[in-house]
A and B are shown apart, each in its own frame.
Chain A
Amino acid sequence: MTVNKLRALICIALSTTFLVACGQPANDGRLKVGYVVNFMSHEWYQNICRAAEMRAGELGVDIIIADANLDIAAQISKAENLIAQGVDVLVLTPVDAKALGPVVAEANRRGIHVLTESNPVEGSKSYIGIDNKASGKKAGLWYAEYALQHGMESKILIIGLPNFEDCRQRVDGFKEGLAESGLDYDIVQEVDGQGLKERALKVAQDALTAHPEVNVIFGINDDSTTGGMAAYRAAGLDETGLIAIGFGLEGTVGRTALLAGGSYRTALGMFPEFVGTSLVDAAVAIAAGQTLPAHYETPTLMITLENFEQFYRPEGDGYALRLDAVRALMP
């Protein structure tokens, strides 16, 4: 055993003791974390919640998860319930960041640490999540490099979700990456696919009628991109010349499309399982008195067929994320 490893072990042992001592609520000695997720019906949040529960089990933390189902009033009342139940750390994925100020202030008054996922809220200690703009930029740079290597003439269709700040940032980042790359490209149209495959298919179909020359599709999530691909196919355009870029790769849709080896060449991996794990890690750290950065950034990476197995291993019918591989991407 090297000295470094030994030192690491001692650190972990010490911090665990410290944790148990510090984050100790009066009742049963276990750290109690409450999490109000904004929209449990989405696969992305299911993966986050599942991973958070698993991590909580590993660390001996009690976690209570409630779903706001996109209703801000429900989110506030569920957060209040968790405060009343005496959680030590309250985690929120804001339905509306601006409306959560009062409930966060109430939690702070009672000495409950507040963390948020995806978006910052005033009064919370830290927010955990990816950097959407930087991630979009990775997609832009990936494509630019590919296009320069293959001498592609780039006619790009963007399928966005402009109602959401996060999704706007992904598109902004994508454009920034393209602009910085020195590639000669043309964004022929941007449409609103509302993040749904059904809607993406319809609007992409109309956009492709106006611009059959499109040979690149960038979608702000996997359903947007695969909806665009379905429209491409339905329009009878030659798919062999198409490059489709996804964002998220959070579930079966994106993974199936990627592994099919067709025009879906790559997607930005957002690793929701790692985000879920990080929520619990951050809650444990803050309860132990550590200071977290204002933005606890979880890593993202362009996933292609080449590096897929480095990050995912087969499990049952599907795949499971190799959490250690993602952790290795942390700075």
Chain B
Amino acid sequence: MARLAGAEQAGLGLVLFLLCAVLATLSPVFLTLGNITNILRDAALVAIAGIGMVAIILQGEIDLSVGSSQAIVGIVAVAVLNASSSIVVAFGVSLLLGALIGLLNGLLVTRAGINSLIATLGMMAILRGVAMVSTGAVSIQAKVPDFVNIGTGHLGPVPVPVLLAAVLFAAVYFVLHHTPFGRYVYAVGSNRDAAELAGLPVARIKVAVFMLGGVLAALSAFVLASRLNSGQPNAGLAFELQVIAAVVLGGVSLTGGVGTLVGALLGILILTVLNNGLVLLNVSSFYHDIARGCVIILAVFLDTRRRRSLDRSSNG
């Protein structure tokens, strides 16, 4: 199992390396510190939400509401910030809202028994609608000068969002791989019935994971609002697809139980580097989607082939 995961990551690592090598040859600025900082800062936002998505997909569930939650949480964050003049209060309220959204998603899936694809699709539409209605579709400007430093500031040479993503990554990695809860998450995802028979509180685990996903999505929304210095009702359009594509590209299986955070991180980096490179090379935006699609298919193809050959060697 460990060998299998390791091999998958090697394949993705190779794709990332090749991509970087090609871009470095084609663009003189690709390997500059400024550009690498940009890539990491962009990747950080996807990664923060992506970490939560990994846990959710490991359960065999999905969360389509993370894009809309970028909008509603960002708006609430800025509104609370302007009303209270306190970044801490705005931060706290944002995370609470994220937890609440996650809780609702979790209850809809476990208690109401609605398929998570449908439940979170509904939540996605509701949250976007609330964001539009509450603002009249007009963005709100943050009025606290220091707020913008969360998204754009640095600690030493490291951008704050990158630092935040790294800390969260380490924390969730620890939880998934070194605590009973992490084992339960994998267990529920790979075989729900077996987990239930073993006496695991499957529903509660699922709700907890949805809440984790909600809080992390709220965190990325908070950072995004800070970067834009405003709450934007159209923030995060199709963000959920970007996150899911990166996570799945990273080898996290949509059927649940299979996948790692490291793989997801590689998936996120591949797509971010690709987006960055296409602009650096001045490629017309019409080709961007084509390139993204090709890379996703190519990377998953390489993965599948590697896994198959691995299966054969372990069987034979």
Contact = CB atoms under 8 A, between A and B. Distances in A.
Are A and B genuine complex partners?
A: yes
Contacts of A43: 136-138
A317 B291 CA distance: 46
Given A162-B285, A191-B285, A209-B32, A202 B132 contact: no
A189 B228 contact: no
Given A209-B34, A234-B152, A253 B139 contact: yes
B280 A209 contact: yes
B228 A197 contact: yes
B235 A198 contact: yes
B269 to A, nearest CB: 15
Contact of B38 (A189, A205, A227, A251): A205
B227 interface: yes
Interface string B232-258: 111111000000000000000000000
A205 B280 CA distance: 10
A206 B232 contact: no
B115 interface: no
Interface string B51-64: 00000000000000
Contacts of A40: 137
A210 interface: yes
Contacts of A209: 29, 32, 34-35, 38, 280
Interface in B205-264: 224, 227-230, 232-237
B313 interface: no
Contacts, number: 75
Nearest to A222: B139
A194 B141 CA distance: 20
Given A162-B285, A252-B138, A210 B279 contact: yes
Interface in A108-156: none
B279 A203 contact: yes
A192 interface: yes
The A interface, classified by DSSP as helix, strand, loop or mixed, is: helix
A256 B285 contact: no
A325 interface: no
A196 B234 contact: yes
B282 interface: yes
Interface in B93-147: 132, 136-139, 141
B233 A230 contact: no
Given A209-B29, A210-B279, A210-B280, A201 B138 contact: no
A240 B284 CA distance: 30
A235 interface: yes
B60 to A, nearest CB: 31
B8 interface: no
A194 to B, nearest CB: 8
Contacts of A202: 42, 275
Interface of A: 40-43, 46, 162, 189, 191-192, 196-198, 201-203, 205-207, 209-210, 223, 227, 230, 233-235, 251-253, 256
Going nearest first, the 8 A-B pairs with the smallest beta carbon separation are A192-B285, A206-B279, A41-B137, A209-B35, A210-B280, A41-B132, A43-B138, A206-B276
Interface of B: 27, 29, 32, 34-35, 38, 42, 132, 136-139, 141, 152, 224, 227-230, 232-237, 275-276, 279-280, 282, 284-286, 288
28 contacts: A41-B132, A41-B137, A41-B234, A42-B137, A43-B137, A46-B136, A46-B138, A162-B284, A162-B286, A191-B285, A192-B288, A196-B237, A197-B232, A198-B236, A201-B228, A203-B285, A206-B276, A207-B279, A207-B280, A209-B32, A209-B34, A209-B280, A210-B27, A230-B229, A234-B152, A251-B138, A252-B138, A252-B141
